[in-house]
Amino acid sequence: MDNIEKELRTVIAKLFEEKKIDLVIGYTKGTLPLVSTPIFLKEEKDVDKLIFDVSCGNNLVKYLKRHRIVNMKDTKVAIIAKGCDGRAIVQYIAEGQIKRDDVLIIGVPCEGVVDPKKIRSKTNGKEVSQYRIEDKKIILKGNDFEISLNKSDVLSDFCLRCRYPNAPLYDIFITEPTKSVGTKDEYEKVNEFEKLTSSQRWQYFENEMSKCLRCYACRNACPMCYCEDCFVDQSNPQWFGKGTDLSDTIIFHIVRVIHTAGRCVDCGACARACPVNIELDLLNTKAGKEIQERFGYTPGLDPDETPAMAAYDAEDKQEFIL
């Protein structure tokens, strides 16, 4: 990782120097251990603030449109892209949200990011104050403990099933594209879940959704939720209740799943943002699986392919239409 950061900083310093960019959307050290924070770097002198490691979980593509829209039309923007960020950019291009030339993509080889919830469970709720990576191990230190864990035990589930650790499109790649840390079948969780009875599945969703606070952190962290005027924020007409009535909460989540079906790049931003640990990926992955099986479409890989939900073919399977 040290090499990656070193090269990243050198490359970006050079880009600033050559006036090829005005702004870099990247990661810097956060205020808590194992938590990074987005940074909008505008000057060469700040490049040492850039980091890239297992703490860099946010999907930075969320900021791409905002920074292009808000008084920055003439700003040359570069973005640090893991595989999932890269896929979100590709999907933005495919959906006509940005043009390929709008952004300089700096690919980074992603070997997975940690899931703070797993860490918390591994340390029994004790706080980590320092960490270091040693090959396949992560060593966590707190006030009165030090433990060594397999990295794979604390990586996000999304990373453990990731098949695209490198951005599909990039202008510059830092070091070398890497092999995915994902060892699990993409749809393993969904396949297992499908074996349950419908009442078991419903009960599961009721239980998960009843935790929801309606803070919309999932939607707001999701790079694919870029609508200027989300159905959630419409008041005339108001589509559903604003309270925590289970039926309203479920409507919110189901509509979001439908709106992101065949568009979700499985980055895990939603689940990571959720303050109450709702398992948010199951429905999304299921929707992605359906799209994949029916239309052979995987979002975020090919900027020139028409997205599944925007394409129509007379041969499209439609047995699911009642």
Site residues (vs other proteins, CB under 8 A): 30-33, 35-40, 58, 62-63, 117, 120-121, 125, 127, 129, 143, 211, 213-217, 219-221, 233, 235-238, 241-245, 269, 272-273, 275-277
Backbone angles phi, psi at 102, to 5 degrees: -65, -25
Q: Which is nearer to other proteins, 173 or 193 (CB)?
A: 193
Cβ at position 52, least distance to other proteins in Å:
15
Q: Which is nearer to other proteins, 110 or 119 (CB)?
A: 119
Cβ at position 62, least distance to other proteins in Å:
7
Gap between the Cα atoms of 24 and 42, Å rounded: 7
Cβ at position 234, least distance to other proteins in Å:
8
Q: Give, as one character, the DSSP assignment of residue 114.
A: B
State the maximum Cα–Cα separation within the chain, in Å, rounded to a whole number: 65
For residue 107, count CB atoms less than 10 angstroms from its CB and return exposed for 0-12, middle for 13-18, buried for 19 or more. Answer: buried
Cβ at position 66, least distance to other proteins in Å:
9
Q: Which is nearer to other proteins, 247 or 318 (CB)?
A: 247
Cβ at position 142, least distance to other proteins in Å:
10
Which residues make beta-bridge pairs with 81? 107
Q: Which is nearer to other proteins, 208 or 266 (CB)?
A: 208
Q: Which is nearer to other proteins, 6 or 242 (CB)?
A: 242
Gap between the Cα atoms of 20 and 97, Å rounded: 22
Q: Which is nearer to other proteins, 30 or 168 (CB)?
A: 30
Which residue shows structure tokens 């499109």? 169
Contacts of 263 (CB under 8 A, 6+ apart): 91, 95, 224, 299, 307, 309
Judged by phi (left if over 0) then psi (alpha if -120 to 50, else beta), residue 257 lies in: alpha
Cβ at position 176, least distance to other proteins in Å:
29
Identify whether the C-beta of residue 278 lies closer than 8 Å to the C-beta of residue 211. Answer: yes
Cβ at position 32, least distance to other proteins in Å:
7
Q: Which is nearer to other proteins, 186 or 279 (CB)?
A: 279
Alpha-carbon dihedral 9, 12, 14, 20, rounded to 10 degrees? 180
